[in-house]
Amino acid sequence: MILSLILTLATPASSTLTQPVAPWSPGPTATRRDEIQRATAWPEFGNQAELKQCIARVRKARTEEMAVKGAGQLEEIGPAAAPLLLKFLGSEKDAEARARMEAVLDSITAPEHTRLLAEVLDERADAPRRYAARRVAELGDPGLQEASEAFLSEWTERAKDKRARKPVEALDLQLAAVLCLSTGSLEGVPGALELAAPEPWKTWGPALEGACAHAKAASEAVGAELSARLAKAGDPAGRVLLLRLFTYAGSKDQIKPIVPLLNAEQNQVKVATINALRMIVDGAAPLKRLSSFDAIEHANRWKERL
C-alpha cells in the first residue's frame, strides 16, 4: 500500500537500530531537529515459547499476580516482545486483556520505534492499528508527516463509502487527525479542532496537548495556522477551541493576534487567552478556574507586560 512505500522512503537506509482507545498523556518533547535514531527492525527474542507464555499470562490473568508477573517478564524482554504482542492484540476479544497488553506495549516502546509502529497502520484489525496510531502520536515523529497524511486521507475516503460492509467509526478518523497533528501536519488541524470542543476535550485533552507540543517541536506551521485563524475568528466559542490548541502549539512570535483577546467580554475567551500566554511566554501550566474578577486582574497584568 502507499503507506508502506512512504514509510520505506522515510526511514534512513543507514539505520540499524533496533472498544475505543483510551486517551493518553503527552509523550516526551521532541527536538525541533529530529535527532532520534529510528529503528528499522524489532530486536529478536530466541525463545518464542517463553515469549508466548509470558503474553498468555497477561492476556488470561486469572489473578492480579499472574498479570503483574507476565507484564514484568515482558518488560524484561523489552521491544523484542512487541511484534508478537501486536499480533495477539489483533485477535484479543476481551477489552480488559487488550488494555493490559497495550500497557505493556507502552512500557517497551520508545521514540526510536515509531517507524516500526507506523507499519502497523496498515493492519486491518482495529486494536493494533488504533494502538499504533495512538502510540506514534504520543511519541512524536515529524518524519512521518507524509505517511500520517496518507493515513488520514485513506480513512477519510473510506468514511465516504456509505455502502461499506463495515462503516468507518469516528474513532479512526479522530486518531488519524491527532496523529497528523503530532507530526506538524496542517491536515490534522480541522479534526483536532472538533476534538477541542468542550465535551470531547474531556477525553482528548491530554492527547491534543501532547500532539500540539510535538507539532510545535516539528515546525512552526501548526502554530502559524492557528495564529492566522485566531486573527480572523469572531465567534467566542471558536476562539476558545483555537486557543486550546494554540496554547501548546504556538510560539512567542505568533501571539500578536491573541493579545487583543485579553479585552474580550466573554470570560471563557479571556481565560483561554491568559492560559495561552502563560504557557507560551512563561512555560507555566494553564489555570483551571478563574473567576471573572481574577481573569480581569490577570489580563491587566499581561497587558502591562506585553
- Give per-residue pLDDT as tens, 199-238: 999 999 999 999 999 999 999 999 999 999 999 999 999 9
* 229 part of a folded domain: no
Is 175 in the same domain as 120?
Answer: yes
Q: Tell me what pLDDT residue 62 has.
A: 86
Task: Among 219, 251, 279, identify where a domain stops.
Answer: 219
* 226 part of a folded domain: no
Is 163 in the same domain as 240?
Answer: no
Q: Tell me what pLDDT residue 14 has.
A: 32
Q: Tell me what pLDDT residue 95 has.
A: 96
The range of the structural domain enclosing residue 254 comes to: 236-306
- Domain holding 23: CATH number? 1.25.10
Is 59 in the same domain as 181?
Answer: yes
Which H helix or E strand runs over 152? helix 145-159
Q: Identify the three-state secondary structure at position 132.
A: helix
* 225 part of a folded domain: no
* 270 part of a folded domain: yes
Q: DSSP readout, 183-244?
A: TT-GGGHHHHHHHTSHHHHHHHHHHHHHHHHHHHHH-SHHHHHHHHHHHH---HHHHHHHHH
Q: Tell me what pLDDT residue 16 has.
A: 27
Is 93 in the same domain as 127?
Answer: yes
Q: How many domains does the chain have?
A: 2
Q: Identify the three-state secondary structure at position 135.
A: helix
* 230 part of a folded domain: no
Is 21 in the same domain as 150?
Answer: yes
Enter the pTM of the model. 0.88
Is 53 in the same domain as 83?
Answer: yes
Is 123 in the same domain as 191?
Answer: yes
Is 164 in the same domain as 273?
Answer: no
Is 190 in the same domain as 126?
Answer: yes
* 258 part of a folded domain: yes
**CB crowding 131-147: b at 16 or more within 10 Å, else e:** bbbbbbbbbbbbbbbbb
Those residues of the chain that have pLDDT short of 70 are 1-34
- Give per-residue pLDDT as tens, 81-106: 999 999 999 999 999 999 999 999 99
